[in-house]
Amino acid sequence: MSMHRPNAVTGAEAMVRMLQGYGVRHIFGLCGDTSLPFYDALYRLDHGIDHILTRDERSAAYMADAYARVSGRVGVCEGPSGGGATYIAPGLVEANESSIPILAINSDVSTTSAGRYPLTELDQAALFRPLTKWNAVIPSADMLPRLVRAAFRAMTTGRPGAAHLGLPIDVQKAPAPEGEIWWEAGHARFPAWPAAPDPAAVEAALDRLLAAERPLLVCGGGVVNSGGEAELARLAERLDLAVATTISGRGSLADTHPNMVGVVGSNGGVVATRDVVEAADVVVFIGCRAGSVTTERWRFPAPGTDIIHIDADPMVIGASYRTQVAVVADARLALAAMNAALARRTGTPLPRFGGGDLAQAARLAKHAAFKPLADSLERPIRPERVVAALNACLPDDAVVVADPGTPCPYLSAFLVMDKPGRRFISNRAHGALGYSLSAAVGAHYARPAAKCISVMGDGSFGFTAGELETIVRKQLPIAFIVVANATYGWIKAGQRSGFGGRYFSVDFSATDHAAVARAFGVPAERVEDPEQVLPAIRRAVEAGGPALVDIACQPLHEAHAPVSEWIA
């Protein structure tokens, strides 16, 4: 713990010093009348924090979200009162449900004017209560340091999540007690205070796992969030276990690891990967909520399959499946405990389950279906060809950020990243469009030496194109790929598969996204020739500054997307 110099400070200055103490180096946000004292404190104080001015509070929250995912540190965003609070909310609920710690600070009207109809008055505490893990409106400068500490403690411990602080303008101006301005440095990163498992639960999990015939590990985002990749690889290799992931769990193992099956479920899973899940007699969920997408609406694994569930949140375990063994713990510590317990079992030889063979067969079957489409010279361009081009020119350290619409199933199924860790991001908790372009900014600031690539549909582009100005102003070397088909493709495909092709209010006018990007100052090109996809993407990836490629692609309702309900 560190102490601040014993000088009188205002609430706004205290907030800046508290953020500085927690190691915050980037804040994403947007100005407003009620934020003026806070902005003035950021201007006057020597704090080492870079404020990135955004064009939308929603974008600021998405930037903070991706920053946290890639850096392992708390992401911070801010905005003004009233509309600024309502705009920032979508990013908070996405991060919270994805177990990502971001702190949103919204300035607020004066505490003394509450209830007197001041401009932008809003009950921030009520608004953010169901959207965050923890939230408060700071009632006085005396309480500000204590509530900031509580926010960081809540965000980073147990199951990580989002926090929100309302910061009234009079609290920003009032004197704060200098003796209270201290911080708990261990809560700058997540997970903080990770919980180790009950040894008896570890032994019970191993007993059931070793008695299986066809076990399968299904890894969610908790493995990467906890830094458990190496322990997972050790367990999988020791027992030759098949390993699958959710979309958020990508990076738990490298896509090229011999035991990696790939993404399973209704978004990015294919028949071959589903077959591996269906054949398993024991499924081990690790840092995974076993929600509707991963399990194809709780059909795979089938009810009745033996389940071992490892999660930091005890409420997740048993919510969807009857669980034979529950291990409540941080994913990394649980996997490490299982490896240590295995090492102590020297009496009998450990089984080898042939998971590598299962994984290889699934990958080969998936590739066999992918390659003809990726090689196709048909027009409109096949989305598979876009993914193949990315596979051909991705730098080793690249970070790919995908919107949840058209690009997501293709990238989830077919993008190949040959290193573990958080290198692929998509907002899978709520799936709001407009995430990728903004989130790539946060990913860049989290890992500036890595090439960040944002892939989005044209529906998403329309949500967030204004942030291209931010990117040009900051000259961020991000490559943007727009999969353009002039429709809300996911919904149109659903209308085809489930509603007899009765298409209603899903198509919009085609836009020259390259021209739009150039108007903002982003070098851009339009691609309609399949043979130009790879060279265009390579130019964007190798560019020293921002670059955009607008690709005329086949719409989802006509395509062979790896989405189980459409395949069926």
Q: Which tens digits make up the pLDDT trace of 49-67?
A: 999 999 999 999 999 999 9
User: What's residue 565's pLDDT?
Assistant: 79
Amino acid at 58: R
Q: Is residue 464 part of a domain?
A: yes
The SS3 call for residue 558 is helix
Amino acid at 54: T
Sign of CA dihedral 269, 272, 278, 279: negative
The SS3 call for residue 266 is coil
Residue among 115, 117, 229, 110 nearest 172 (CA):
110
pTM of the entire structure?
Answer: 0.96
Counting Cα atoms < 13 Å in the Cβ hemisphere of 103 gives: 29
Looking at the structure, do residues 342 and 385 belong to the same domain, yes or no? no
Cα(287)–Cα(340) distance, rounded to whole angstroms?
19
Q: Is residue 371 part of a domain?
A: no
Cα(410)–Cα(507) distance, rounded to whole angstroms?
21
Looking at the structure, do residues 173 and 203 belong to the same domain, yes or no? no
Looking at the structure, do residues 400 and 478 belong to the same domain, yes or no? yes
Residue among 96, 124, 95, 92 nearest 108 (CA):
124
Cα(99)–Cα(91) distance, rounded to whole angstroms?
12
Alpha carbon 137 to its chain centroid, in Å, reads 27
370, 264 Cβ separation under 8 angstroms: no
The number of beta carbons lying within 10 Å of the beta carbon of residue 112 is: 11
Looking at the structure, do residues 385 and 499 belong to the same domain, yes or no? yes
Counting Cα atoms < 13 Å in the Cβ hemisphere of 449 gives: 3
Q: Is residue 321 part of a domain?
A: yes
CATH number at residue 101: 3.40.50.970
Cα(128)–Cα(130) distance, rounded to whole angstroms?
6
Query: What is the extent of the structural domain holding 294?
Result: 199-358
User: What's residue 4's pLDDT?
Assistant: 43
3-state secondary structure 461-526: HHHHCCHHHHHHHHCCCCEEEEEECCECHHHHHHHHHHCCCCCCCCECCCCCHHHHHHHHCCCEEE
Looking at the structure, do residues 499 and 528 belong to the same domain, yes or no? yes
Looking at the structure, do residues 387 and 348 belong to the same domain, yes or no? no
Sign of CA dihedral 542, 401, 413, 418: positive
Residues contacting residue 57 through CB under 8 Å, at least 6 positions apart? 29, 30, 77, 79, 84, 85, 87, 88, 91
Looking at the structure, do residues 118 and 220 belong to the same domain, yes or no? no
Domain final residue, candidates 358, 385, 411 = 358
Counting Cα atoms < 13 Å in the Cβ hemisphere of 505 gives: 0
Q: How large a percentage of the chain has pLDDT more than 70? A: 99
pLDDT tens for each residue of 158-182: 999 999 999 999 999 999 999 999 9
How buried is residue 46: exposed, middle or buried, by Cβ count under 10 Å (0-12/13-18/19+)?
Answer: exposed
Q: Is residue 336 part of a domain?
A: yes
Q: Is residue 365 part of a domain?
A: no
Residue among 356, 204, 216 nearest 286 (CA):
216
Looking at the structure, do residues 156 and 262 belong to the same domain, yes or no? no
Q: What is the DSSP string of 296-327?
A: TTTTSSPTTSEEEEEES-TTTTTSSS--SEEE
Rg (CA), the chain: 24
End-to-end CA distance of the chain: 57
Q: Is residue 370 part of a domain?
A: no
Q: Is residue 457 part of a domain?
A: yes
Looking at the structure, do residues 305 and 182 belong to the same domain, yes or no? no
Number of compact structural domains in the chain: 3
Q: Is residue 404 part of a domain?
A: yes
Domain final residue, candidates 157, 187, 217 = 187
Looking at the structure, do residues 160 and 207 belong to the same domain, yes or no? no
457, β-bridge pairs: 483
Looking at the structure, do residues 414 and 555 belong to the same domain, yes or no? yes
pLDDT tens for each residue of 476-513: 999 999 999 999 999 999 999 999 999 999 999 999 99
Parts of the chain with a pLDDT under 70: 1-7, 568
Looking at the structure, do residues 524 and 406 belong to the same domain, yes or no? yes
Domain final residue, candidates 358, 387, 404 = 358
User: What's residue 337's pLDDT?
Assistant: 98
Sign of CA dihedral 526, 532, 537, 539: negative
